[in-house]
Structure 1
Amino acid sequence: MATQLLIYGQVEAVNKKRHQNWSIKAENNYDFAKKVNSVPLMAAEFPHAAQDYSIVFAGEGKQLLPVVVMGIKQDENLYVNDQGQWVAKYIPAFVRRYPFVFASTDEEKTLTLCLDESYAGCNQQDKGERLFDSDGEQTQYLEKVLSFLQDYQNHYQRTQAFCNKLVELDLFEDMGAKFTLPTGEERTLTGFKVINKEKLKALPQEALSALFATDGLELVYLHLHSLRNLNKMLQSEQPIQSRADEHGSVH
């Protein structure tokens, strides 16, 4: 079953037989994401995310996707503090959809709503929002979750198309960023890709016009502009953002 399991533990398909009496109590705690240094980002999120994060790319070929960098060590997220609070204005949709996720066994032709049953907010004591009512029908809460994930999936497909175009235009180069920590320790951030400015400048006018017409050029510049946030990530503290209306919209 294909899922992006960076922050997920015990994933099970949601069904009324298994989860008839289950409820989800949302908690303003992001410890579940404390040990991931990047998560996927949808193209629609670029304008908001570029204010707080560095947007880079990860993967190869058709599996390449934008991601936000959240730490320079493999198992650290500098945007989650010791109290489990997210310390940035914008929280990526990948994180906001937790503990839910779509899974597929047939290359995304059929999507199944799943739940991480290890999430601390899962309970059978009617705390928070029920998944099914007493008749076994989906609650408004579960319908809202489904709508959010369907919206996310649509944005995922559009984001893939955007990345495929960038690969086709051969605009990427491997990223290698060096940091000196306050302790004097030096670290290097690798494993990501960025757009090469010289390759971008060398594009034929026709290709640039096509990128502009699909808003791809705006996304490219947001990505390039966001790279300055790498130092900001290490040096500045940002205001706390609550988790209200987490299943509102992707962007």
Structure 2
Amino acid sequence: MASAPQLPLFYNGLEPLSSETHANYKVQPSTVAPFLANQHAIPLTVEEFPLVQRHMPIVFSSGDDAIPLALMGLNEGVNVFLDDSGKLLEETIYVPAYVRRYPYMLARLTPDAQELSLCFDPTSPTIGAFDQGDALFENGQPTELTRNILQFNENFEQAAARTAQFMNEVRELGLLMEGEVSIQQDGVEQPFVYRGFQMVDEQKLVDLRGDQLRKISQSGLLPLLYAHLFSLSLMRDIFARQVRLGKMPQPQLTM
């Protein structure tokens, strides 16, 4: 697993959405996400921890600028929740908001811009000058669909800001440590060892001073940390899914 990406994951380009340039653009919803089929680690916001921890492990990327990640597989190129076309194998699986916002995102058009503009990835097959689909503009004005897309992205940016604050607090408390998980498969001599991620050091969490524990309990930080810790037990479930799907990792590899 690598450090937090410098460029947005999934995006091949960004173009500001314009009522003039894209006046006739429409959206064609898709039930598949081929861009996700080979991605094993997806950025998360802290508000998603309670939902994600029921389905997949939550870890933190390596490096000083760590971000929360949901593991949809344990090895590069492996996603155990989708088939090869990018269709969910189970409809009840939670899909992180980072995935659901694609191909849109809010971005600054210039480095010194004060405001964020709604942009989209022009390489996405779900948006374009189609004959059929849901219109993004009518009579030069955003449709309800576009307003909803904008609202979702604004909510995501707010959640991302809260996640950054969460990570700052975790770093200040010195709670992160290098993670390692060893899984022994029946019939295989060597265990499968996964590294290259960070996790909360539970002993350091327990050893926090009373005033520190009280503060993170009152702020809502403590239950989020335990959601992360509880989710780590799903590592073996993800591994078992890889085995069932025939996507066997190699022993002694890192994520």
Normalised to the residue count of structure 2, the TM-score between the two structures is 0.84
Query: CA shift at 1:111, angstroms?
Result: 1.3
Q: What's the counterpart of residue 249 of structure 1?
A: none
The equivalent residue for 1:225 is 230
Q: Gapped runs of 5+ residues in structure 1?
A: 238-251
Aligned twin of 1:117: 122
- Distance in 2, matches of 1:176 and 1:108, equals 41
> Is the CA contact 1:3–1:101 (under 8 Å) kept in the aligned structure 2?
no
What SS does the corresponding residue of 2:142 show, helix, strand or coil? coil
Question: Do the aligned partners of 1:6 and 1:36 also contact (CA within 8 Å) in 2?
Answer: no
Corresponding residue for 1:244? none
Which consecutive aligned stretches of 4+ in structure 1 deviate over 6 angstroms post-superposition? none
Please tell me whether residue 103 in structure 1 is matched to residue 103 in structure 2.
no
Residues 1:36 and 2:42 aligned together: no
Specify the SS of the correspondent of 2:212.
helix
Secondary structure, in 3 states, of the residue corresponding to 1:98? coil
Which sections of structure 2, spanning at least 5 residues, go unmatched? 243-255
Please tell me whether residue 49 in structure 1 is matched to residue 52 in structure 2.
yes
* CA distance 1:131–1:177, change in 2 (3 Å): same
Q: Please report how far the alpha carbon of residue 216 of structure 1 lies from its aligned counterpart in structure 2 after TM superposition.
A: 0.4
RMSD: 2.3
Contact 2:80–2:241 under 8 Å retained in 1: no
Which residues in structure 2 correspond to 1:7-46 (within 5 Å)? 7-46=10-49
Q: Distance in 2 between matches of 1:189 and 1:26?
A: 36
Matched length: 234
Alignment of 1:177-216 (within 5 A): 177-179=181-183, 184=188, 187-216=192-221
**2:36–2:86 CA contact under 8 A, matched in 1:** no
Q: Which entry has the higher C-alpha Rg, 1 or 2?
A: 2
Contact 1:72 1:187 in 2 (8 A): no
Distance 1:109 1:228 in 2: 43
Residues 20 and 69 (structure 1 numbering): CA distance in 2 closer, same or farther, change over 3 Å? same
What corresponds to 1:128 in structure 2?
133
CA shift digits 1:86-114 (9 cap, x unpaired) = 23521100001111112234488421211
Which TM-score applies when normalising by structure 1? 0.85
